[in-house]
Structure 1
Amino acid sequence: MSTTTTLSNNSTFTNSNAKEPLKNVIVTGGAGYIGSHIIYTLLKTHKYKVISIDNYHNSFPAALTRVSELALTELKASLPTDTSPSPQDLDSVAIDVYKCDLLDSSLVRSIFSKYSSQNGGTGIWGVIHLSAYKAVGESSVIPLTYYANNVSATISLLQIMQDFGCHRLIYSSSATVYGVVDEIPIKETTQRQIEGKEGSVYGRTKVMCELIVEDLCESSVLTGSTTPFQAISLRYFNPAGAHPSGYIGEHPRGRPENLLPLLAHMAVGTVKDPVLKVFGKDYPTPDGTCVRDYLHILDLAAGHVIALQALEEGSELNNRVFASTTETGKGSKGRFKAYNLGKGHGMSVMQIVGAMREATEFDFKTEVVGRRRGDVPELIADPALARAELGFDAPRDLETMCRDLWNWQEKNPTGYE
């Protein structure tokens, strides 16, 4: 089943100047926390027709309705007085929404077909692949579920993309691909971890998918494809915060797994735990708790949009990104590139608790318990490559992340429900 998020508009359209047609872009997991903010950022460019595919396992359709409403409101506010949005601009802030599991290949194929030239469309220009199960602890308990959902679904998606001539992919990866590392901050040249007790099933699924995507990029070059497969893998660290309006934000189904949303739910009263369990305080870090590289969700979303723009063949950005990749020859990985997205410095669990205590004025209590399998002491990105080649930046600080998160949670104590 497919539905289209519709926007009411009773004003008279003005004649618009000729514009480049919107590019059809699929976002898998579009209704999720990261997906909804990426879609919002895509809509703000007015260059794409966004198509969301989501099974709502850990998300809500209402998020996409709000994203469209927010983008439309901002579009109208940006126009001169007594000027109405053009039909194309209105189309650029409306999302085509499909409830679909990526493992249902026949339904995913039908979505691609709907936009194909055979049905009068221009085809799918690119895909931002976000959907995945992502709880580190849970992944060790139900590994087959994680391998099926994260790896098998990615393979199916790539096969369908190939069949429909879609050769541009942004892959949502993770810092967990690095496992435990000796050198901090982490560079993209750091070896990815598959084996070892310090790794997680979730992290291994991300490494496997990256390798599969790399092999696809390589094969399209070695077979002499006139449109070689291009992919950028974005390895991010910990997104946090929300849109400053408080209209969209993070709302997982059930109890939050990640630290910041858990703290927000404790402060607003939807999680009744009297204390926060801290998994280990004997790590080799300044205060003994795990250190992570947090970045604002809107900075992360902007990084995805820049990466998508880098897949435009022949552009200056495209040439810069893939200048170092070998186009021919045995062993080439083709047009594949990985980037870390982060701030370049970390915050510990206890620092996060302190920042949220200040933002919410809630007196969080903590209790140290044993380490959690799969956790590593420090994950801090070296974002130098993304800054140099993509022009990526993450200027919003921890206080802004916590303030925006609390603004969202306080205005929406039960999220989208």
Structure 2
Amino acid sequence: MRVLVTGGAGYIGSHTTLALLEAGHDVLVVDDLSNSSEESLRRVTELTGRTPGFVKANVRDEAALDAAFAGFTPDAVIHFAGWKAVGESTQIPLTYYRENLGSTFTLLEAMAKHGCHRIVFSSSATVYGDMSEPPFTEDAPTGATNPYGRTKHMIEQILQDVAAADPSLTVGVLRYFNPIGAHESGRIGEDPKGIPNNLLPFVAQVAAGRREKLMIFGDDYPTPDGTGTRDYIHVVDLAAGHLAALGKLAEASGYHVWNLGTGNPTSVLDIVKAFEKASGITIPYQIVARRPGDVASSYADPTKANAELGWSARLTIDDACADAYRWQSSNPNGFADA
């Protein structure tokens, strides 16, 4: 299968690109490298012995995307490209709406023009907001609490409407919360530009001496230790989930939603302790005020994905922390060390 992957040089995208190539698919990555590195794709080639195609472009660039589709003629699309930090989205909401919604409009138009009828969308468990209590099933009420989550929620609505209007379009929406870990080789992993917005890369950078200490946003949530709990899922399991969804869409039609997760809530302090265990390094931290837009707890019920996709999370929090430490210790400055 020929698969076009938007945002394929990023963290989840690069791991999914690797998994696609290992499974025998041909891949074209479209990525503007605004929060990623082309080095990740060079290392994917090193690990798989196969080279993904690459177009450096923002997915909102209609001409570049049209040319990519015309030259590659994809059978399916996996859509990762987008801005993704909850806190940042509350500060620059217009950027989030422009980038995340605009790229989806351009992508769907290019798909329609070039006869590509299958898309897997990287959504988020943030769409569940605080409308119901976890664990969330796919039919739980949705309504995000921050601009980032709202863009994901809006895109889901757009995809559902477009699929209803075009019976030839098959859509798989994957909702997940916190991907963590790295490839077991230590060659690819999470390498955010600037100050990390996600927990584990920040913890890893503290361990590597790049950051003085971890800031924990609130310890007064109604959770066992007061810190927020999330469904942390190993990025390798997550990549496998995207392949499983892609395979399912080959035999399905219409619009589908699946949660990808472990089904187990893990707190911020649990992650810190697991990383200390994996690395042997004490992680200094400071409790600060809650972050705007955050909820106390969010974790998925993955039963539907287990049953319909034949997929389940295999790797543990300890595995993820060990892999993340291997990646960070081998690449203290991320892909810049190349």
Question: Normalised by the shorter chain, which TM-score bucket?
Answer: over 0.9
Matched, 1:102 2:64: no
In structure 2, what is the equivalent of residue 19 of structure 1? Answer: none
In structure 2, what is the equivalent of residue 303 of structure 1? Answer: 241
User: 1:362 Cα shift?
Assistant: 1.6
* Distance in structure 1 (CA, Å) of the matches to 2:40 and 2:215: 30
Alignment of 1:385-404 (within 5 A): 385-404=304-323
* Distance in structure 2 (CA, Å) of the matches to 1:134 and 1:154: 14
Matched, 1:255 2:255: no
Which residue, out of 268, 293, 296, partners 2:231?
293
User: 1:113 Cα shift?
Assistant: 1.1
Matched, 1:43 2:18: no
Amino acid of the residue matched to residue 270 of structure 2? Q
* Distance in structure 1 (CA, Å) of the matches to 2:191 and 2:133: 34
**Contact 2:4/2:78 (<8 A) preserved:** yes
Secondary structure of residue in 1 paired with 2:273: helix
In structure 1, what is the equivalent of residue 118 of structure 2? Answer: 168
The number of residue pairs the alignment matches comes to: 336
**Contact 2:132/2:141 (<8 A) preserved:** no
Alignment of 1:10-29 (within 5 A): 23-29=1-7
* Distance in structure 2 (CA, Å) of the matches to 1:383 and 1:64: 30
TM-score (norm 1): 0.79
Matched, 1:218 2:195: no
Amino acid of the residue matched to residue 96 of structure 1? G
TM-score (norm 2): 0.97
Amino acid of the residue matched to residue 104 of structure 1? D
Which structure has the larger Rg over C-alpha atoms?
1
User: 1:183 Cα shift?
Assistant: 2.2
In structure 2, what is the equivalent of residue 276 of structure 1? Answer: 214
Matched, 1:236 2:176: yes
User: 1:366 Cα shift?
Assistant: 2.0
* Distance in structure 2 (CA, Å) of the matches to 1:178 and 1:285: 18
* Distance in structure 2 (CA, Å) of the matches to 1:244 and 1:388: 27
**Contact 2:132/2:140 (<8 A) preserved:** no
User: 1:344 Cα shift?
Assistant: 0.4
Deviations 1:56-86 (A, max 9, x none): 00000010010011012xxxxxxxxxxxxxx
Question: Which structure: greater helix fraction?
Answer: 2
Deviations 1:182-233 (A, max 9, x none): 3221100011105xxxx00000000000000000100013xxxxxx100000
In structure 2, what is the equivalent of residue 183 of structure 1? Answer: 133
**Contact 2:28/2:53 (<8 A) preserved:** yes
* Distance in structure 1 (CA, Å) of the matches to 2:248 and 2:282: 45
* Distance in structure 1 (CA, Å) of the matches to 2:200 and 2:324: 8
User: Identity over aligned residues, as a percent?
Assistant: 45
RMSD across aligned positions (CA): 1.0
In structure 1, what is the equivalent of residue 280 of structure 2? Answer: 361
* Distance in structure 2 (CA, Å) of the matches to 1:182 and 1:61: 40
User: 1:143 Cα shift?
Assistant: 0.7
Unpaired runs of at least 5, structure 2: none
Deviations 1:359-411 (A, max 9, x none): 12221222211111111011110000000100111011111000000001101
Unpaired runs of at least 5, structure 1: 1-22, 73-92, 116-122, 222-227, 323-334
Amino acid of the residue matched to residue 152 of structure 2? K
Matched, 1:407 2:326: yes
* Distance in structure 1 (CA, Å) of the matches to 2:245 and 2:34: 26
* Distance in structure 2 (CA, Å) of the matches to 1:365 and 1:312: 48
Amino acid of the residue matched to residue 250 of structure 2? E
* Distance in structure 1 (CA, Å) of the matches to 2:122 and 2:300: 15
